[in-house]
Amino acid sequence: MTRVLVVEDDPQLVRALVINLKARRYGVDPAPDGTTALRIAAARQPDVVLLDLGLPDMDGTDVIRALRGWTRVPILVLSARRASDEKVAALDAGADDYITKPFSMDELLARLRAAVRRTDDVPPAPETTLVMTDGFTIDLLAKKATRAGHDVRLTPTEWHLLEILVTNPGRLITQKHLLAEVWGVSQSNKTNYLRVYMAQLRRKLEADPAHPRYLITEPGMGYRFES
């Protein structure tokens, strides 16, 4: 049974989450504050965490950092905070996804299933590290991209950016993280670099660059590769 730790201080929302999750055969451990959440996480080893940021005893980003000190469990933030900097702070702290309240239960459950699938996936051996989509194939070992049977010429910077995204399928990677990884920490505010290079990657790999299917922008936050 997949165990879900629900960290939320709104009793009505907790009740709705517990009912919906248990109906789908998830085990649920509710926690009304950060201190309780960290204690339960250590004792119960959940498979996924649903976390509100506005907790009565500490900020949710502090809970994320504490968890990331010892576990890679998927963390899905559920928050009414809509400002881009709040979202980026949570993702940079180590959250895997960010869902803004109010949300539909169907969307939440879909993202929960996706998070669990990603942890269940066993990474392929390096010799067979292929990322295959209906539109293109990425050979991570050979550092080679093909589309419609033809090689796609990528610059080293384009390749580095693509490699980070495709090795984290479904996960939102923040602009700050991508900039720091590809261009260095000193360039972490140059978001125009990302726009230019992502546009180039889409032109080379997407069937319809104006309406990308695989290289997705999350406005104000970052980018996501959907396989």
Residue 124 confidence (pLDDT): 47
pLDDT at 215 exceeding the cut of 70: yes
Identify whether residues 214 and 182 lie together within a single domain: yes
Residue 150 confidence (pLDDT): 92
Identify whether residues 104 and 158 lie together within a single domain: no
Q: What is the DSSP string of 119-133?
A: HHPPPPPGGG-EEE-
Residue 186 confidence (pLDDT): 67
Identify whether residues 141 and 36 lie together within a single domain: no
* CATH assignment at residue 180: 1.10.10.10
58-105: pLDDT as tens digits:
999 999 999 988 888 899 999 988 888 888 888 888 888 899 999 999
Among 91, 120, 149, the domain boundary falls at 120
pLDDT, mean of residues 195-213: 94
Residue 134's domain comprises 130-225
114-167: pLDDT as tens digits:
888 877 654 544 444 789 999 999 998 888 899 988 999 988 888 989 999 998
SS3 222: strand
What own/partner pairs with CB < 8 Å and gap ≥ 24 does 158-162 have? Answer: 158/197, 158/200, 158/201, 158/204, 161/194, 161/197, 161/198, 161/201, 162/138, 162/201, 162/205
pLDDT at 37 exceeding the cut of 70: yes
Structural domain contains residue 125 = no
Among 102, 120, 138, the domain boundary falls at 120
* CATH assignment at residue 19: 3.40.50.2300
Identify whether residues 199 and 143 lie together within a single domain: yes
Residue 190 in tokens: 């140059």
Identify whether residues 163 and 107 lie together within a single domain: no
| Number of domains the chain contains | 2
Strands 173-174 and 137-139: unpaired
Classify the C-alpha dihedral 110-112-115-116 as positive or negative. Answer: negative
More confident residue, 5 or 181: 5
Structural domain contains residue 221 = yes
Identify whether residues 94 and 154 lie together within a single domain: no
4-22: pLDDT as tens digits:
999 999 999 999 999 999 9
With cut-offs at 50, 70 and 90, classify the pLDDT of residue 187. Answer: low
Task: Give the separation between CA 213 and CA 220, rounded to whole angstroms.
Answer: 19
Structural domain contains residue 21 = yes
What own/partner pairs with CB < 8 Å and gap ≥ 24 does 118-121 have? Answer: 118/74, 118/169, 118/170, 118/171, 119/47, 119/48, 119/72, 119/73, 119/74
Structural domain contains residue 20 = yes
Query: What letter represents residue 147's amino acid?
Result: R
Residue 46 confidence (pLDDT): 94
With cut-offs at 50, 70 and 90, classify the pLDDT of residue 112. Answer: very high
Residue 184 confidence (pLDDT): 75
Among 120, 154, 175, the domain boundary falls at 120
Residue 206 in tokens: 């997407």
Identify whether residues 148 and 215 lie together within a single domain: yes
pLDDT at 193 exceeding the cut of 90: no
Count CB-CB contacts under 10 A for residue 64: 24
Residue 121 confidence (pLDDT): 55
Which of 115, 205, 108, 210 has its CA nearest to residue 162? 205
